[in-house]
Amino acid sequence: MSDTDPSPTTGHHPGAAKPSGAVLLLDPTSEAESTDRALTARKPSLDGLTIGLLDINKPRGDVFLDRLEQQLGHRGATVLRFAKPTFTKPAPADLRHEIATQCDAVIEALAD
């Protein structure tokens, strides 16, 4: 790879080749560290809660969510329905905000 390396052996640039023979590489990653977040405490009961159902817009996701809505209703929860504009993109920030401010919990349906 000498064609991309102007001076692979000379030491005029610091650190590229240490006298010990160790080589310094540049990290190709974003170097971002992910943060661990504790899970939200589990709800003891569904009674009186508002549950958001998020349809990612895949075929038959509505079949699954219709059934969940029915079951949650039987258990005293209020259900709000949401849908992503397309399953191929992350949920828009406005939609996430809407769910976060209106619901106690959310269930997202993946389906096909």
Phi and psi angles of residue 22, each rounded to the nearest 5 degrees, phi first = -70, 150
Of positions 35, 40, 88, 101, contacts another protein by CB under 8 A: 88
Q: Minimum CB separation from another protein for residue 31, in Å?
A: 5
CA distance linking residue 75 with residue 107, whole number of Å: 15
Place of tokens 């949401």: 82
Is position 15 an interface residue for another protein (rule: CB under 8 A)? yes
CB of 70 to another protein, least distance (A): 25
Q: Report the C-alpha gap between 38 and 59 in whole angstroms.
A: 33
Residues that bind another protein (CB under 8 A): 1, 3-8, 12-17, 20-32, 85-86, 88-90
